Amino acid sequence: MGIFPTFGATLFRFFTLCSMLVYFYRDLGLKVLGWTWLGAGVLLWLSGAPGNHIGLSGVVYGLAAFLFFSGLIRMHPRLIRVSMVVTFLYGSIVWGVFPIESGVSWQGHLAGAALGGFLAIAWRKQGPQRPLPPAEDEEEEMDEDFPEHHEGTSSPI
């Protein structure tokens, strides 16, 4: 496979995942993108992997991992749907973290994915949170609007 189809596919994934990140996570999204961009490269460099590692795929793996794990950790219905969409669209990229194909920087993929998972855990209290269930007081208020019918009393009808 040539460099241009691979670059185009990676660029498409990057823009798709960035769009989901910024749309669903607003302010936190830019912070995740910045730390993923820097952190994936630093982790790859610290791994000491030989060779030249060029590309955006480590960032793509980081964004995909963050979106997937963050939705599951937060248990927010909308974010769980985002996790499912990421799995459906990009679930097959999980094989890129293993040294299967020669010439592919699996270390960069693994660094990005690990960082994305870490950021999802570290920032689980920031950004959108699971909506609270309705309070029990609301149910009691509704019951007051409709008094119970007691046996032995006459019906208004």
Range(s) of the domain holding residue 46: 3-130
Predicted pLDDT of residue 39:
93
- Structure tokens of 29? 């999204």
Asked if residue 77 belongs to a domain, the reply is yes
Q: What is the mean pLDDT of residues 50-70?
A: 90
pLDDT at 30: 92
For the chain, the average pLDDT equals 85
Does residue 52 belong to any structural domain of this protein?
yes
pTM of the model: 0.79
Q: Is residue 104 part of a domain?
A: yes
**Within a domain: 144:** no
Q: How far apart are CA 37 and CA 116, in angstroms?
A: 10
CA dihedral 133, 85, 113, 25 (to 10 degrees): -50
For residue 121, tell me if it sits in a domain: yes
Query: Per the structure block, which two tokens stand in for 26?
Result: 């607003």
CA distance 150 to 84: 49
Has residue 120 got a pLDDT over 90? Answer: yes
Residue 36, pLDDT score: 95
Tell whether the model's pLDDT for residue 9 goes beyond 90.
no
Total domain count, the chain: 1
